Amino acid sequence: MRRLATVEWAQSSQSPRAARDRIQEYPVSDRNAPDTAHITNFIRNIVDADLAADRFATRRWGGAPGDAAQHAAGAADPARIRTRFPPEPNGYLHFGHAKSVCLNFGLARDYGGVCHMRFDDTNPEKEEQEYVDSIINAVKWLGFGWEAFGQSHLFYASDYFGFMYRAAEYLITSGNAYIDLQSAEAMRASRGTLTERGIDSPWRNRPADESLRLFHEMRDGKHADGSMVLRAKIDMGSPNINMRDPAIYRIKHAEHHRTGDAWCVYPMYTYAHPIEDALEQITHSICTLEFEDQRPFYDWVLERLAEGGLLAQPLPKQYEFARLNLTYVVLSKRKLIQLVEEEHVDGWDDPRMPTIVGARRRGFTPEGFRLFADRIGVSKADSWIDMSVLEECMRDDLNGRAQRRIAVLNPLKLVIDNFPAEDEVICHAPNHPQKPELGQREIPFTRELWIEAEDFVETPPKGYFRLYPGNTVRLRYGFVVKCVGADKDADGNITAVHCEYMPDSKSGTPGSDNYKVKGNIHWVSAKHAYQCEVRLYDRLFRVPNPGKRQQEHAAAGHAPDHHSTELDESGKLHQHEEKVEHDWLDDLNPQAKQTIVAQLEPALRNAQPEDRFQFERHGYFVADHVDSRAGAPVFNRAVTLKDSWGKAGG
């Protein structure tokens, strides 16, 4: 099992937040891990074709992001391709981001390239250092890094504000942009529709020097937010509404988390993004499908600036893929924020949350996420992936590596009447049934044991082979026992089960398999058991599509939803699901977190932070690195051994 050597339990005096903050170091980028060269998808086909055609033969790298002159002065780019992962630092990464991380960093790894970690922090509002830190941790945890060719490739789009401003000045002087004084409403009204062309702004033909003067005044803080905007001058008659003179710079008197109050003008997202890619010499700029209609503008910006000699050739190209839609969770940042703020969950790293920090506490693994990304592939068609696919990836990964342990989750006392009260017999249990090299551990057998309450009944139903009066079972890794009765309290509840053991039946001793029994149950010594808190986590929502009428959803065979796209104030596209039939919060699964007190085998007392185990018969569990203390770990269930959701709703 790969261990995170630097992770230690928090001291009990520390707050959970402090405990979380200590988890800072990760295994470095796993560059020789899984062989994914066999994977094909439409993006890999594009990369293959580009490399075969030597499309990047002339690319140079100036040692850092920069303009045409800087890259021209550099040497041939050692990176065969450059991709980027460009989150906006306004939230925690979720499972959808994991798909994008695995895609972009995976391409770079497999093609001898580099993937840039870029914070797209051009919108001064909502962005915070806390999110920057958590995103860095999440990407590293997933097993990726940005150190390559002797340097780090961690960049901030806000470092390019100076260039973006100069590029805007160039667009003005070259007749490709103008300052518009229309109100936001007037601009929206004159944009036209899919069937009607837009109407030219009265300011569209204002002389370039006048626009330049106003643009400088904007930067100098002489004008109020929203009083004017810089627009690209393209074509108000374009069939693509995004080409009808989109805004490229706005006034926003706001403090930026990195540049402070150095700027009161900020670039719009759709203008900033292609420039960021070009300055960083990105070859393949991969984004989700809703940006497809923005591609002509992406190319327009880059071509104008390359014509002016500001940006290096060849220019980056944008490619779109289908975002991850996953059942039984929500993956919209807005909804995740609502879950946290309204306290439907215990924070961003609640193990029920579909965030990377949540998954980590849940006991999910980076390898499981990478397997998932490989299995679901990349396509251009929107579709839904069932949560069981992700869970199965986690099982497949954990099954091979997680050591086995014994845990009694719903304890009932078992007394071995013919075993002396002071005696102890040491039994041995293998740490992994298929991996003898992982060794075995000792488990003490004593007169009083804990067994699962469900492993005893007074009157057995047909096919029940576990304990009932008169029946014989094997106590796994221990002895064969015969049930001789049970104690009850005044209400008739079973309080203890009584058995007699066969001294010559100890597992692994000669003759022990002369006993033929059909039942095999697990147990822990009551005297030695480690009693602790265990959280049984399950899916966050009880239906595949929160907020939707489920029959309809099932009938449509998980057909893609109808999304509407909307631009926010900074010009970034957001997708909204249409047709919400009822409040999605009503579909939260009240059973998604159950806290119990369990009796575990003594070895688990020494579990280290983030150690993952299979609790035999129960599932995969992790020692929670936030709530545990040295010598007193608590465990979270990652996933059960088998899918109990089956075909339900899906």
Residue positions annotated with a catalytic role? 88, 323, 333
Name which of 101 and 623 has its Cβ closer to ligand ATP.
101
Name which of 100 and 137 has its Cβ closer to ligand ATP.
100
Which residue, among 605, 599, 595, has the nearest Cα to 531 in the 3D structure? 599
Give helix then strand counts, H and E, for the chain: 15, 33
For tokens 């099982």, name the residue: 395
Beta carbon of residue 112, minimum distance to ligand ATP (angstroms, whole number): 22
Name which of 332 and 507 has its Cβ closer to ligand ATP.
332
Name which of 139 and 168 has its Cβ closer to ligand ATP.
139
Cα 631 to Cα 296, 407, 462, 526: the distances in Å are 59, 17, 43, 18
Measure the CA–CA gap between 602 and 36, rounded to whole angstroms.
Answer: 40
Name which of 570 and 636 has its Cβ closer to ligand ATP.
570
Q: What is the DSSP letter of 450?
A: E
Measure the CA–CA gap between 644 and 392, rounded to whole angstroms.
Answer: 12
Beta carbon of residue 323, minimum distance to ligand ATP (angstroms, whole number): 3
Name which of 87 and 267 has its Cβ closer to ligand ATP.
87
Beta carbon of residue 378, minimum distance to ligand ATP (angstroms, whole number): 9
The residues, any chain, with a CB within 8 Å of residue 453's CB and separated by 6 or more, are 410, 411, 412, 494
CB-CB contact of 527 with 534 (8 Å):
no
Name which of 356 and 481 has its Cβ closer to ligand ATP.
356
Beta carbon of residue 96, minimum distance to ligand ATP (angstroms, whole number): 2
CB-CB contact of 450 with 530 (8 Å):
no
Name which of 198 and 354 has its Cβ closer to ligand ATP.
354
Phi, psi for residue 84 in degrees, rounded to 5: -150, 150
Q: DSSP of 540-557, one letter per residue? A: SBSSSSTTS-HHHHHHTT
Phi, psi for residue 43 in degrees, rounded to 5: -75, -40
Instruction: Give every strand in the sheet of 593-600, ordered side by side.
Output: 403-405, 612-615, 619-623, 635-640, 530-537, 593-600, 407-408
Beta carbon of residue 86, minimum distance to ligand ATP (angstroms, whole number): 5
Beta carbon of residue 287, minimum distance to ligand ATP (angstroms, whole number): 5
Name which of 64 and 567 has its Cβ closer to ligand ATP.
567
Binding site for ligand ATP (CB under 6 A): 86-88, 96-97, 99-100, 287-288, 323-324, 331-333, 574
The residues, any chain, with a CB within 8 Å of residue 83's CB and separated by 6 or more, are 104, 105, 107, 108, 113, 114, 115, 116, 282, 283, 284, 285, 286
Beta carbon of residue 201, minimum distance to ligand ATP (angstroms, whole number): 29
Measure the CA–CA gap between 235 and 281, rounded to whole angstroms.
Answer: 28
For tokens 């643009």, name the residue: 215
Residues linked to residue 60 through DSSP beta bridges, in sequence order: 76
Measure the CA–CA gap between 73 and 67, rounded to whole angstroms.
Answer: 10
Measure the CA–CA gap between 218 and 11, rounded to whole angstroms.
Answer: 52
Beta carbon of residue 573, minimum distance to ligand ATP (angstroms, whole number): 7
Which residue, among 603, 591, 570, 601, has the nearest Cα to 637 in the 3D structure? 591
The residues, any chain, with a CB within 8 Å of residue 209's CB and separated by 6 or more, are none
Measure the CA–CA gap between 143 and 28, rounded to whole angstroms.
Answer: 7
Phi, psi for residue 254 in degrees, rounded to 5: -145, 145
Q: CA 626, 627, 628: angle at the middle one, nearest 5?
A: 100
Which residue, among 313, 314, 315, has the nearest Cα to 295 in the 3D structure? 315
Q: What is the DSSP letter of 315?
A: P
Beta carbon of residue 291, minimum distance to ligand ATP (angstroms, whole number): 8
The alpha carbon of residue 546 and the mean position of all alpha carbons in its chain are separated, in whole angstroms, by 19
Nearest residue by C-beta to ligand ATP?
96
Q: What are the tokens at 43? A: 């993006």
Beta carbon of residue 315, minimum distance to ligand ATP (angstroms, whole number): 19
Name which of 333 and 360 has its Cβ closer to ligand ATP.
333
